[in-house]
């Protein structure tokens, strides 16, 4: 093997240095974390996915989010929402524009202010939407995700109550040990709906309003004593349905 002279060694060192600098300059600075690509829901629902963006570089980064491609049904709508601005019940008339939203992320910081929403529409099927998170000052520095949605008919199985005002599914898991989950849909936002949980003696253990712009209520039962409870759906303070809930430790 031939001897490597000092001049050759310098050239090799320069090449290695410039290669390293080039790699650093083109390295990705943004990452989407805790991401679930496959989403499932029922007709007439809103499916919400928080886009968690992390700065994995060692310098501050200004980022924005854009919808790139989508294949959705004619009765479906997709939105990007900022800081829960979709919870005002009138998404189309929001004052702010997602395209104007720019957020500064410090090194190692994770942002959870952006939510992707799909209104599932009236027909079951499969939909796909891709989103790009990019460095505003360097658009070629980006990361991209694609959400896959499977939309199905709402089965009557497990449905506790259905009306023109509210749909409420049976609580799950039942028995519950830590959290009891109620899936619901408010169809008439002018009505007030709530769930009241009471014990076998009739004493109220908890009262929970159903947010008309959400579709799931999670109730912590960690402070409940083990035993049998009953949960009731109230619409404008009138009880319309009741069922048993068991709490175990």
Question: Is 6 within the bounds of a domain?
Answer: no
Burial class, 28, CB count within 10 angstroms (exposed 0-12 / middle 13-18 / buried 19+): exposed
The last residue of a domain, from among 118, 152, 186: 152
Contacts of 180 (CB under 8 A, 6+ apart): 171, 172, 173, 174, 218, 219, 221, 231, 245, 247
**Separation of alpha carbons 89 and 93, rounded Å:** 9
Both 133 and 44 in a single domain?
yes
Both 44 and 70 in a single domain?
yes
Question: Is 190 within the bounds of a domain?
Answer: yes
Both 169 and 236 in a single domain?
yes
pTM of the model: 0.56
Question: Is 187 within the bounds of a domain?
Answer: yes
The last residue of a domain, from among 121, 152, 183: 152
Both 34 and 148 in a single domain?
yes
Closest CA to 161 of 104, 242, 221: 242
Closest CA to 40 of 133, 144, 153: 153
Both 143 and 222 in a single domain?
no
Question: Is 4 within the bounds of a domain?
Answer: no
Residue 43 structural domain:
30-152
145 within 8 A of 33, measured Cβ to Cβ: no
Question: Is 109 within the bounds of a domain?
Answer: yes
Q: Check residue 22 and give its pLDDT.
A: 44
Q: How many domains does the chain have?
A: 2
φ/ψ of 73, rounded to 5, equals -70, 160
Both 123 and 192 in a single domain?
no
Burial class, 133, CB count within 10 angstroms (exposed 0-12 / middle 13-18 / buried 19+): buried
The helix/strand/coil state of 133 is strand
Question: Is 12 within the bounds of a domain?
Answer: no
Calculate the dihedral angle through the C-alpha atoms of 34, 46, 194, 199, rounding to the nearest 10 degrees: -50
61 within 8 A of 27, measured Cβ to Cβ: no
> What is each CA distance from 185 to 15, 90, 114, 189, in whole angstroms?
62, 17, 23, 10
What CATH code is carried by the domain that includes residue 212? 2.60.40.1930
Both 74 and 179 in a single domain?
no
Both 109 and 171 in a single domain?
no
Q: Check residue 121 and give its pLDDT.
A: 84
Taking only the tens of pLDDT, the chain with its 249 residues reads 444 445 455 554 444 444 444 444 457 999 999 888 888 877 877 788 889 999 999 999 999 999 999 999 998 989 888 876 665 444 555 555 666 789 999 999 999 999 898 888 888 899 999 999 999 999 999 999 999 998 887 665 578 888 878 889 999 999 999 999 999 989 888 899 999 999 988 899 999 999 998 889 999 999 999 999 999 999 998 888 889 999 998
Both 221 and 127 in a single domain?
no
What CATH code is carried by the domain that includes residue 124? 2.60.40.2310
The last residue of a domain, from among 88, 117, 152: 152
Closest CA to 208 of 197, 198, 216, 200: 197
The DSSP letter of residue 219 is E
Both 84 and 175 in a single domain?
no
């Amino acid at each position: 093997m031939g001897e490597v002279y000092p001049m050759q060694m310098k050239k090799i060192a320069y090449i290695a240095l410039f290669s390293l600098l080039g790699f650093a300059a083109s390295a990705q600075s943004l990452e989407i974390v805790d991401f679930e690509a496959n989403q499932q829901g029922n007709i007439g629902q809103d499916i919400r996915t928080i886009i968690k963006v992390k700065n994995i570089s060692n310098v501050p980064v200004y980022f924005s989010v854009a919808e790139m491609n989508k294949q959705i049904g004619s009765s479906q709508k997709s939105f990007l929402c900022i800081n829960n601005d979709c919870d005002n019940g009138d998404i189309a008339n929001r004052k702010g524009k997602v395209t104007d939203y720019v957020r500064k992320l410090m090194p190692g910081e994770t942002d959870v202010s952006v939510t992707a929403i799909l209104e599932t529409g009236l027909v079951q099927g499969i939909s796909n939407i891709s989103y790009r998170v990019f460095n505003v000052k360097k658009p070629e520095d980006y990361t991209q995700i694609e959400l896959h949605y499977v939309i199905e008919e709402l089965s009557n199985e497990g449905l506790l109550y259905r009306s023109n005002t509210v749909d409420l599914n049976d609580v799950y898991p039942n028995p519950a040990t830590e959290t009891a989950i109620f899936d619901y849909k408010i169809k008439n936002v002018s009505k007030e709906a709530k769930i009241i949980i009471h014990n076998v003696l009739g004493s109220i253990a908890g009262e929970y309003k159903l947010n008309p712009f959400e579709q799931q209520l999670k109730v912590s039962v960690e402070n409940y004593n083990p035993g049998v409870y009953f949960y009731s759906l109230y619409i404008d303070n009138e009880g319309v349905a009741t069922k048993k809930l068991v709490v175990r430790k």
